[in-house]
Every structure is written in C-alpha cells, then in structure tokens.
Amino acid sequence: MKRKGLRFYFRIYLKILAQGFKSQMSYRADFIISTIGMILTNVAGFVSFWIMFRNFPSINGWSYHEMLFLYGFSLVSLTPVQCFFDNNWSLRIYVYSGDFIKYCFRPINLFFYYQSEVFDVKGLGQFAFGLCTLIYSWNKIGLPFTALMLLKMIVFLITASLVMIALQNAAAATCFWIQNSFYVLDLVFKFKDYAKYPITIFSPVFRFVFTFVMPIAFIAYYPSLVILRPDELPILSWLSPAIGCILFWLSYKFWMLGALKYSGTGS
C-alpha cells in the first residue's frame, strides 16, 4: 500500500476540522458558556498572582511580571494539547465499550485518525488570554523584541507543547492495559498546574521530580528562560527542544503499541 504523505494528511485534517466546527457551532450556547468558563479560570490564575505579589515583591528572585510571563508561556504552550489532543480524554471510553475498533480499519495512520476527530475550539480562548499575558509581561519587563527573539519564542513554545502532549498521550494510552486509567490521566493533567511556577521555588526533591520524573518544568520554566534570562541558562533549557521531540515520539510509540495490541487481540 502506498504510504501517505504530509500533504494527504493535511488535506484530510482540514476536511475533518471543517466538519468539527460545523458540529460545535450547532451548540453555540454550550460553546459560549464553556469558552467563558475557561477564560474566567485563567483570569483567576492571573488574579492569584496579583494578590500574592501585593504582599511579596518577589518570590525567590522572581518578580511579579516574570511570574506572569511564565504563566502566559504555560497557557500558550498548553493550547495545542487542549485544541488538538482533547480526544485523549475519551479514549478509555472507546476502548472499554469496544467502539475503538472502528478506528482500526481505515487506510490512514490510526493515531492521526483518532486525534483529528476532535478539535476543541475553546482552547483558542486560552491561547488568546495567554498571548495577551505574554505581551503584557514582555513589555513590563522591558525585553527586546527582535526577529531572533520571536523565532526563539515560537520554537521553544512549540517544543514545550510537545512535552504536555507527550504526557497526556502516554497517560491516556494506559487504558489499553489498566482498568482505572482515568486516574492516571487526571493525575498527569493536574500536574500541569505546577508548570506556571519556576521550579526554583520548590524543594530539591520536587525539582528532581518536575525535571526527570514528571517533566512539567519543560512546559514553561526551562524553555522560557531562553527569553527571560538568556545570560544564566542551564543546559536543560537548550536541550528542551530535543527533550520535547523525544518525549512526543516515545509517547506516540507507546500509544500506538497499545492501539495495535487492541486491534490485534480484539480485547
């Protein structure tokens, strides 16, 4: 069978995306309420920083606007997992009901086929809020804006996104082997709340965990240092693009291993 190229998958995805938008827009009230709820949740995070820094001018060397930059960076980097990989939350339901088998008989990549079915447009609200927070804090900190800085920002945001996508892919795929996989996925999802903080404010044990066990420090802290503090960069900041790509590739292989096992055994 002829191998499909990127152009083929791009065309297919655009068609699926258009159908998805039509479906979501048919329930406009639900869409509007959900979007407002997501924005208010992010505003609450913004306000929590403001309240915190009314009492403390800095936290372990991090100023209010630096923390806001980290918060905005984490929101933007988390947007792709919200928009493009939200279907991972339904994976266990499809597997346990047996409906997942329908994805196993199409002549396209199984992972692409499953993930492309859902585009959560509400994530665009999170992206807009995160981007505004980034721009505001960037201006307040007085960071220079050049083509090179913009390129660095885009590259490190994309690769930071791959880390959270990888964590969610791997957590969701545990449903192919364990019954209560929701708790694994939920645990990983809750860890993302710590991504908006610099790991230097945590104890050495948690720094190790957030770097090497549950690597949420690569969602915002390490990659954002390339923009925020380029003169004091740890090696892990420069390695974060490679780490993001490797983790995503490993999570994809793990996801596909479970999916092919499912289609192979029919269990």
Between 76 and 124, the more confident residue is 76
Share of the chain above pLDDT 90, in %: 50
Phi, psi values for residue 58, rounded to 5°: -155, 160
What pLDDT score does 267 carry?
A: 45
Q: Is 210 left (phi over 0), alpha (psi -120 to 50) or beta?
A: alpha
What pLDDT score does 167 carry?
A: 96
Q: Is 59 left (phi over 0), alpha (psi -120 to 50) or beta?
A: beta
In the chain, the amino acid numbered 233 is L
What integer is the mean pLDDT of 133-158?
Answer: 93
Instruction: Report pTM.
Output: 0.85
Measured CA to CA, the distance from residue 79 to residue 134 in angstroms comes to 14
Least confident of 28-32, 111-115, 200-204, 211-215: 28-32
DSSP-based three-state secondary structure for 234: coil
pLDDT tens readout for residues 179-212: 888 999 999 989 988 888 899 889 999 999 999 9
What integer is the mean pLDDT of 149-157?
Answer: 94
Q: What is the chain's alpha carbon radius of gyration, rounded to the nearest angstrom? A: 20
Q: How many CB atoms lie within 10 A of CB 13?
A: 15
Spatial neighbors of 186 by CB under 8 A, at least 6 apart, are none
Q: How many CB atoms lie within 10 A of CB 255?
A: 24
Measured CA to CA, the distance from residue 178 to residue 184 in angstroms comes to 10
Between 232 and 131, the more confident residue is 131
